[in-house]
Amino acid sequence: MARVLLLLPTATYRAQDFLTAAETLGVEVIVASERRQALAGVMGERALRVDLRHPQGAADAIVAAAERAPLDAVVAVDDQGVLVAALAGNRLGVAHNPPEAVAATRDKAALRRALEAAGVPQPAFREAGPHDDVTALARQVGLPCVVKPVSLSASRGVLRADDADAAAAAAEHVRAILCEDEGAGETLLVERYLPGAEVAVEGLLRGGKLEVLAIFDKPDPMEGPTFEETLLVTPSRLPASTQAAVTATVADAATALGLVEGPVHAEVRVSADGNVGVLEIAARSIGGLCSRALRFGLDLSLEEVILRHALGLPLDALTAAFDASGVLMLPVPRAGILAEVRGQDDARAVPGVAGLEITIASGRPVRPLPEGDRYLGFVFARAATPDQVEHALRSARDLLEVVIR
| Cβ partners under 8 Å of residue 176, min gap 6 | none
Give me the domain span that covers residue 74: 3-97
Distance of CA 209 to the CA centre of its chain: 20
Mean pLDDT of the 332-356 span: 97
What confidence score (pLDDT) does residue 182 get? 64
Q: How many domains does the chain have?
A: 3
- Euclidean distance between CA atoms 249 and 200, whole angstroms: 12
106 domain residue, yes or no: no
Residues 135 and 173 in one domain: yes
CATH of the domain at 348: 3.30.470.20
> In this structure, is residue 30 part of a structural domain?
yes
**pLDDT grade for 298, boundaries at 50, 70 and 90:** confident
> Is 222 domain-assigned?
no
User: Domain end: 138, 163, 192, which one?
Assistant: 192
pLDDT tens readout for residues 34-88: 975 445 445 555 899 999 999 999 999 999 999 999 999 999 999 999 999 999 9
Q: If pLDDT is split at 50, 70 and 90, which confidence band does 317 have? A: confident
Position 373 confidence tier, pLDDT thresholds 50, 70, 90: confident
Domain-embedded: residue 246: no
Confidence at residue 365, expressed as pLDDT on a 0 to 100 scale: 96
For the segment 313-342, the average pLDDT, to the nearest whole number, is 94
Asked if 39 and 85 sit in the same domain, the reply is yes
pLDDT at 385 over 70: yes
Q: Are residues 31 and 93 in the same domain?
A: yes
Q: Of 97, 112, 137, which residue constitutes the final position of a domain? A: 97
In a shared domain, residues 20 and 85: yes
The pLDDT-based confidence of 384 (bands split at 50, 70, 90) is: very high
Whether residue 236 is contained in a domain is answered as no
* CATH code for position 188: 3.30.1490.20
Q: What secondary structure, in 3-state letters, does the chain show?
A: CCEEEEECCCCCCCHHHHHHHHHHHCCEEEEEECCCHHHHHHHHHHEEECCCCCHHHHHHHHHHHHHHCCCCEEEECCHHHHHHHHHHHHHHCCCCCCHHHHHHHCCHHHHHHHHHHHCCCCCCEEEECCCCCHHHHHHHHCCCEEEEECCCCCCCCCEEECCHHHHHHHHHHHHHHHHHCCCCCCCEEEEECCCCEEEEEEEEEECCEEEEEEEEECCCCCCCCCCCCCEEEECCCCCHHHHHHHHHHHHHHHHHHCCCCEEEEEEEEECCCCCEEEEEEECCCCCCCHHHHCEECCCEEHHHHHHHHHHCCCCCCCCECCCEEEEEEECCCCCEEEEEEECHHHHHCCCCEEEEEECCCCCCEECCCCCCCCCCEEEEEEECCHHHHHHHHHHHHHHCEEEEC
What pTM does this model have? 0.94
- 133 and 61 in a common domain: no
Residues 165 and 84 in one domain: no
Please tell me whether residues 88 and 140 are part of one structural domain.
no
Same domain flag for 34 and 90: yes
Q: Is residue 260 part of a domain?
A: no
Average pLDDT, the chain: 94
With b meaning 16 or more CB within 10 Å and e meaning fewer, what string describes 262-293?
bbbbbbbbbeeeeebbbbbbbbbbbbbbbbbb
Please write the tens of the pLDDT for every residue from 171-191: 999 999 998 766 668 899 999
Is 300 a member of any domain?
Answer: no
Q: What is the pLDDT of residue 213?
A: 97
Give the per-residue pLDDT at 37: 45
Does some domain include residue 328?
A: yes
Specify the amino acid at residue 271: S
- The reported pLDDT for the residue numbered 184 is 67
Tell me what pLDDT residue 1 has: 86
Q: Which of 167, 192, 217 is the last residue of a domain?
A: 192
Confidence of residue 155 (pLDDT cuts 50, 70, 90): confident
Shared domain for 327 and 389, answered yes or no, is: yes
150 and 82 in one domain? no
* 90 and 18 inside one domain: yes
CATH number, domain of 65, equals 3.40.50.20
What is the tens place of the pLDDT at every residue in 189-247?
999 999 999 999 999 999 999 999 999 999 999 999 999 999 999 999 999 999 999 99
The percent of residues in the chain predicted with pLDDT above 90, rounded, is: 86
Percent of the chain predicted with pLDDT > 70: 97
* Residues 135 and 67 reside in one and the same domain: no
